[in-house]
Amino acid sequence: MVLYREKQALRQHIYSRKKAGQTIGFVPTMGALHSGHLSLIEQSRKDNSITICSIFVNPTQFNDPNDFLKYPITIETDIAQLAEAGCDILFLPSSVEIYGATPPLPGSEHYDLGYLETVLEGSHRPGHFQGVCMVVRRLLEITDPNRLYLGQKDYQQCMVLTRLVELMGRKDGLSIRICPTLREEDGLAMSSRNMRLNPESRKVAPTIFQTLDYIRQHLAPGDLQALKNAGIIRLEAAGFRVDYLEIADADSLQLVSGWDGSRKLVALVAAFTGEVRLIDNLLLNPGR
């Protein structure tokens, strides 16, 4: 695996490889890698000549400064895992390399994300998706991939980045592959933030997936409020502070209050255990 810290050198390398007819798969991450990240690398290796992973803890997407300061950094083991997984290139830029001397101030760049920015993560983490777009636009310009690999774990982010690719006018040359959420044996979605869970929180954390699965099993046509309330009660009983538990149209993310028995739905949760905020989601009727 080759490590690049500078965008110019990486750009030149990619340019020459693409000119030689090779395809590029790109997996953006914030490091503290786990098997979920590695599954994206694996998928990219199957589909492309060259797989690039980036590790960059993006300051502009943290609406909570404490979350940024406490974000886990495990760069040595990340490098070892990527090499072992057969990743071809690791891009490990500094903040200056991505943003210049200072990162853009909130509002200094605007991406028109419409409705997506008004619900769920959009409303609970103001500015978060603008920050995600700021960094991913730059990373896509540097890596110029044929395919971009994202995890369904961040369901709304997948939709936001699909929109970003449209806004960048890249819809034709760049396809997005959404890969399934990898989970621990007890159902907990793998996440870098799981490293911050104390033993007590780690014990209750699978309640999030259990609650989503409960909703999936009890989904029935009609009003959905009682089902959502039952989910919130389960989470609160396990000690979670719930940011949201919602059921939405799986394609548009429009929140739904009732089900007609056919619409494709996704349930999404964000909840705190202690000071760690976890998110997860589950397609409720994936076969439809």
Q: Which residues bind ligand AMP (CB under 6 A)?
A: 29-30, 36-37, 39-40, 150-151, 153-154, 179, 181-182, 189-192
Q: Work out how close the CB of 19 gets to ligand AMP at its nearest, in angstroms, rounded to a whole number.
A: 28
Residues 6+ apart with CB under 8 A from 21: none
Q: At 134, phi and psi to the nearest 5?
A: -55, -45
With respect to ligand AMP, which residue has the nearer C-beta, 165 or 224? 165
Q: Work out how close the CB of 211 gets to ligand AMP at its nearest, in angstroms, rounded to a whole number.
A: 17
With respect to ligand AMP, which residue has the nearer C-beta, 194 or 201? 194
Q: Work out how close the CB of 244 gets to ligand AMP at its nearest, in angstroms, rounded to a whole number.
A: 18
46 closest CA partner among 129, 149, 141: 149
| Residue 250: both structure tokens together | 């799986």
What stretch of H or E contains 288?
A: none
Catalytic residue, candidates 13, 37, 110, 124: 37
Q: Work out how close the CB of 208 gets to ligand AMP at its nearest, in angstroms, rounded to a whole number.
A: 12
Told to judge if 37 belongs to the known catalytic residues of this protein, a careful annotator would answer yes
Amino acid at the residue 274: G
With respect to ligand AMP, which residue has the nearer C-beta, 52 or 224? 52
Q: What angle do CA 9, 15, 133 make, to 5 degrees?
A: 75
Give the CB-side neighbour count of residue 41, counting CA atoms within 13 A. 25
With respect to ligand AMP, which residue has the nearer C-beta, 42 or 230? 42
Tell me which residues are annotated as active site.
Answer: 37
